[in-house]
């Protein structure tokens, strides 16, 4: 390649126009800043989706496994991205292609919000309610619409939006990351990678925080009426963050297109060597296909690359499914608000990870640890994470028990006294004592879940009707209007059989006069409060430590991954890894985790005879299944890290192999001539 052409490829501009004012921006520092900022915004999208997941389930009346299929659009697009592999050699300016793909991602984000704008008048599905029903003889029958309860057109629209976002995400990683590594001297690479990864790592926390903010607004802005967050009829504005993210991408993505194919400066980089190599040969379409086949063959024989791919696949199989449903886990297991649960885990982990990434990047650049040292440290990290999550599997909060669930009753007339064993095993009451009482003979109740809490502060019933309540009134407690249900016959029978009613710990003062051994017959709307703050903060502390420790190995792992392959194979190796991860980890993991969570459901929402989303979970079973699958995947991933360590003893990380690059180019030319 002639010098004049090489100079042009190192200038900022577009369509042959290179304004003088843009040339100072043609530097690795400027590109790192913009690329990291765009990666930060891109990394907000999927955590935002996870943050609003349970609300999307309620909006569309879908189960967790169905929601996982909707969110799989990102992974399916990344699998399809593998089809671009034969055309990879034709990609000239990787930065421009990143820009175009991310503009498409902005469109995908906007598409995810279309179902809300198209059908804002839809009735809120998923077991929510408004009004004052729930008493015997006062339940209003459901007004079933003529169309399907599930808005399938809206669900498919979200799927395709996420599919398009996935194309942008794949391009940003497959082209952008090699662009950074190719244009930076290898001794500076750890520090640059640390800054990039730390910046991007903030994205998930911001995405979760954005979800928290959006869910505090009612899903139809300005039309919440008397509803407040926490009411059964409340639905957060799950769609609100998508236009915001789309706007940010639209602002940043076009700027990426102005960067040159090769940044000016140090010629001793992979980009310079590859540019010289590309300028010496002109290839036919058949040679492109031959090069692709040879690239795949080289990667298949690369043992470090193979073991690294296996390790990443296994650990992501456990983490992606867990992280996808982490807001739901925090909401139901630790009894946190839907909006708050969206950000707790991500904020804690992101803060710790950012510290670890920045520090480890500069430490690696300063001390230049060998590949063997880095891979051995990764095995130690795997052991620490494994032990941490095994410990978290024993951190439990009280499981909510619901009495009077019609789904476990033999007839509607008996739902006041639950014939299931939950009440009997909890309080030691004979199995026939409540079923034969008058509280189960008064009338029939519908299957709308409107839970009430007895005055003892511990007993939950499926509804006021299921508790045998005959009247209700509104009381003012702590400045708020609270509905009180009176003469609840099932609660009276329970208190008589248990003896003195336990003193409530967090119920309002109007109940105080009903205590002291007198049979209590009143209840309030909603589930009984659960105090699990101590366990919750302990779990968040473990999340912080895991995020901090695991992040200290990520920069080194990335450097090992990039150095294990030849410079010409970097983009191809990333495309293959992304596709494999999507096929074997990112796609199946949320679906499997979603199906496991559905297996732990105690009470399903129902509308017009169709089962919708889960309303109450068996949190003990949820915890065992979740952490059981997670620890198995981490254990197997740590074993695969042992394979990376074993084969990395001769791997050089800091430019020691640069002198052999030209020899490899000559060898490849000779092989081509022989063929």
Whether residue 403 is predicted with pLDDT greater than 70 in this model: the reply is: yes
pLDDT greater than 50 at residue 619: yes
pLDDT at 643: 95
Residues 415-441, mean pLDDT to the nearest whole number: 37
Of the two residues 347 and 27, the one the predictor is more confident about is: 27
Tell me the pLDDT band of 42, cut-offs 50, 70 and 90. very high
Of 525, 545, 574, at which residue does a domain stop?
A: 525
134-185 tens-digit pLDDT: 565 454 455 565 555 667 788 889 999 999 998 888 888 888 888 887 788 7
428: phi > 0 → left, psi -120 to 50 → alpha, else beta; which? left
| Residue 623 banded pLDDT, cuts 50, 70, 90 | very high
More confident residue, 444 or 667: 444
> Does 437 lie in the same domain as 391?
no
Cα–Cα distance between 156 and 537 in angstroms, integer?
A: 38
Strand partners, 601: 617
- The domain boundary, picked from 474, 500, 525, lies at 525
pLDDT for 84: 67
Which residue would you say has higher pLDDT here, 200 or 414? Answer: 200
Residue 120, pLDDT > 90, answer no
Residue 650 in this model has a pLDDT that exceeds 80 = yes
Does residue 237 lie in a domain region?
yes
Q: Domain containing 648: what range?
A: 3-139+151-397+533-674
- Out of 525, 541, 569, pick the residue that ends a domain: 525
Higher pLDDT residue, 344 or 668?
344
Q: pLDDT band at residue 456, thresholds of 50, 70 and 90? A: confident
Residues 614, 598 contacting (CB under 8 angstroms): yes
Are 355 and 309 members of one domain? Answer: yes
Query: What's the pLDDT score for residue 106?
Result: 96
- For residue 172, the model assigns a pLDDT of 87
Q: Is 468 among the domain residues? A: yes
- Higher-pLDDT residue of 429 and 233 is 233
In which residue are the tokens 């789309």 written?
246
Note the pLDDT of residue 432.
32
Calpha distance 474→477 (Å, rounded): 10
Same domain, 459 and 538: no
Do 563 and 656 lie in one domain? The reply is yes
Read off the pLDDT of each residue in 459-470 and give the average, rounded to a whole number. 84
Q: Which of 89-98, 408-417, 563-572 has the highest mean pLDDT?
A: 563-572
Inside any domain, residue 351: yes
Confidence of residue 425 (pLDDT cuts 50, 70, 90): very low
Task: Average the pLDDT over each of 110-114, 286-290, 399-403, 640-644 and give the range with the smallest value.
Answer: 286-290
Q: pLDDT tens-digit profile of 589-611?
A: 988 998 998 899 888 877 767 77
Residue 89, token pair as written in the block: 């050699």
**How far is 386 from 376, CA to CA, in rounded Å?**
16
Return d(Cα 303, Cα 317) in angstroms, integer.
21
CA–CA gap between residue 527 and residue 227 (Å, rounded): 17
Ramachandran angles phi, psi of 258, nearest 5°: -80, -10
Is residue 20 in a domain? yes
User: How confident is residue 3, by pLDDT bands cut at 50, 70 and 90?
Assistant: very low
Identify whether residues 450 and 337 lie together within a single domain. no
**Residues 619 and 333 sit within 8 Å (Cβ to Cβ):** yes
236, 229 contact by CB (below 8 A)? yes
Phi, psi for residue 483 in degrees, rounded to 5: -85, 125
Domain count, the chain: 2
311 pLDDT higher than 90: yes
Residue 504 shares a structural domain with residue 572:
no
What is the C-alpha separation between 563 and 376, in angstroms, rounded? 17
pLDDT higher for 308 or 88? 308
Together in a domain, 407 and 375: no
| C-alpha to C-alpha distance for 636 and 599, rounded to whole angstroms | 25
Q: What's the CA gap between 48 and 306, in Å, rounded?
A: 32
Lowest mean pLDDT of 246-250, 253-257, 260-264, 295-299, name the range. Answer: 260-264
Are 246 and 107 in the same domain?
yes
Query: Is 0.85 topped by the overall pTM?
Result: no
Assess contact for 598 and 101: CB atoms under 8 A. no
Give the C-alpha separation, 121 to 364, whole Å: 56
**pLDDT score, position 663:** 47
Residue 5: band (very low, low, confident or very high) from pLDDT cuts 50, 70, 90: very low
- For residue 242, is pLDDT > 90? yes
Q: How far apart are CA 618 and CA 603, in angstroms?
A: 9
DSSP state of 583: I
What's the mean per-residue pLDDT of the chain? 76
Average the pLDDT over 535-546 and give the result: 88
Q: Which CATH number is 363's domain given?
A: 1.20.1250.20
Higher confidence at residue 76 or residue 531?
A: 76
Least confident of 404-408, 448-452, 508-512, 601-605: 508-512
> If pLDDT is split at 50, 70 and 90, which confidence band does 492 have?
low
Q: Tell me if 80 is assigned to some domain.
A: yes
Same domain, 542 and 520: no
Task: Answer yes or no: is 647 within a domain.
Answer: yes
**Residue pair 590/324 in contact by the 8 Å Cβ criterion:** yes
> Which residues fall within 8 angstroms of residue 358, CB to CB, at 6 or more apart?
194, 195, 198
The arithmetic mean of pLDDT across residues 276-292, rounded, is: 63
In the predicted model, is pLDDT for residue 420 greater than 50?
A: no
**340 vs 603, more confident:** 603
Task: Tell me the CA distances in angstroms from 582 to 49, 63, 74, 397, 560, one per residue in order.
Answer: 17, 22, 8, 34, 21
DSSP 8-state symbol, 654: S
Average pLDDT over residues 652-663: 58
Is residue 145 in a domain? no
| Mean pLDDT, residues 228-242 taken together | 81
pLDDT surpassing 90 at residue 380: yes
Percent of the chain with pLDDT over 70: 73
What value, to the nearest 5°, has the Cα angle with vertex 49 and ends 542 and 330? 35
In a domain, 144, yes or no: no
Q: How confident is the model at residue 89 (pLDDT cuts 50, 70, 90)?
A: low
Rounded average pLDDT over 456-468: 83
- Shared domain for 96 and 221, answered yes or no, is yes
Same domain, yes or no, for 633 and 651? Answer: yes
Same domain flag for 411 and 310 = no
């Amino acid at each position: 390649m002639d010098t004049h052409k090489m100079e042009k490829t190192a200038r900022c501009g577009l369509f042959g126009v290179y304004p003088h004012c843009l040339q100072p921006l043609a530097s690795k520092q400027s590109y790192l800043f913009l690329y990291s900022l765009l990666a930060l915004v891109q990394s907000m999208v999927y955590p935002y989706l996870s943050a609003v997941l349970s609300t999307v389930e309620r909006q569309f009346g879908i189960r967790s496994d169905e929601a996982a299929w909707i969110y799989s659009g990102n992974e399916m697009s990344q699998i399809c991205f593998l089809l671009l592999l034969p055309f990879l050699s034709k990609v000239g300016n990787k930065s421009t292609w990143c820009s175009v793909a991310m503009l498409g991602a902005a469109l995908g984000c906007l598409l995810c919000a279309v179902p809300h704008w198209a059908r804002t008048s839809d009735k809120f599905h998923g077991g929510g309610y408004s009004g004052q029903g729930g008493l015997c003889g006062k339940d209003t029958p459901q007004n079933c619409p003529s169309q399907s309860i599930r808005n399938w057109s809206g669900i498919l629209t979200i799927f395709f939006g996420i599919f398009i976002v996935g194309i942008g995400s794949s391009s940003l990683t497959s082209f952008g990351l090699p662009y950074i590594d190719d244009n930076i001297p290898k001794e500076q690479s750890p520090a640059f990678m640390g800054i990039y990864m730390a910046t991007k790592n903030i994205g998930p926390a911001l995405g979760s925080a954005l979800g928290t903010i959006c869910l505090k607004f009612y899903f139809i802005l300005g039309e919440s009426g008397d509803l407040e967050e926490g009411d059964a009829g409340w639905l957060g504005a799950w769609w609100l963050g998508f236009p915001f993210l789309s706007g940010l991408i639209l602002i940043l993505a076009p700027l990426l297109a102005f960067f040159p194919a090769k940044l000016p400066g140090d010629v001793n980089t992979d980009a310079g060597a590859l540019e010289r190599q590309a300028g010496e040969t002109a290839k036919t379409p058949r040679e492109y296909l031959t090069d692709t086949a040879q690239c795949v063959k080289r990667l298949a024989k690369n043992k470090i690359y193979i073991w690294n791919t296996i390790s990443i696949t296994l650990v992501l199989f456990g983490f992606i499914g867990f992280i996808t449903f982490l807001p739901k886990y925090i909401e139901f297991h630790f009894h946190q608000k839907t909006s708050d649960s969206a950000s707790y885990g991500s904020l804690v982990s992101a803060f710790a990870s950012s510290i670890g990434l920045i520090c480890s990047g500069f430490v690696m650049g300063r001390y230049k640890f060998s590949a063997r040292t880095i891979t051995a440290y990764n095995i130690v990290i795997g052991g620490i994470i494994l032990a941490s999550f095994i410990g978290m599997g024993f951190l439990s909060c009280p499981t909510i028990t619901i009495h009077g669930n019609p789904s476990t009753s033999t007839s509607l007339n008996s739902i006041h006294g639950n014939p299931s064993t939950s009440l009997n095993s909890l309080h030691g009451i004979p199995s026939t004592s409540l079923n034969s009482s008058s509280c189960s003979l008064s009338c029939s109740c519908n299957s709308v879940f409107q839970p009430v809490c007895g005055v003892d502060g511990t007993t939950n019933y499926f509804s006021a009707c299921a508790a045998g309540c005959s009247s209700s009134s509104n009381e003012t407690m702590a400045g708020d209007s609270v509905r009180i249900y009176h003469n609840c016959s099932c609660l009276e029978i329970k208190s008589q059989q248990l003896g003195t009613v336990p003193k409530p710990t967090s119920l309002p003062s109007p109940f105080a006069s009903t205590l002291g051994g007198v049979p209590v017959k009143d209840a309030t709307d909603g589930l009984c409060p659960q105090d699990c703050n101590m366990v919750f903060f302990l779990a968040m502390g473990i999340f912080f430590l895991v995020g901090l420790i695991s992040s200290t190995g990520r920069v080194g792992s990335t450097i090992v991954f990039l150095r294990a392959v030849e410079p010409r194979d970097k983009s191809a190796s990333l495309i293959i890894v992304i596709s494999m991860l999507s096929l074997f980890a990112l796609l199946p993991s949320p679906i499997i985790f979603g199906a496991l969570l559905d297996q732990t459901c105690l009470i399903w929402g129902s509308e017009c005879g169709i089962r919708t989303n889960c309303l109450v979970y068996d949190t003990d079973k949820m915890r065992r299944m979740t952490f059981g699958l997670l620890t198995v995947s981490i254990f197997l991933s740590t074993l695969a890290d042992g394979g990376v360590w074993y084969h990395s003893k001769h791997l050089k990380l800091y430019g020691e192999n640069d002198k052999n690059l030209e020899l490899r180019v000559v060898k490849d030319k000779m092989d081509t001539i022989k063929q």
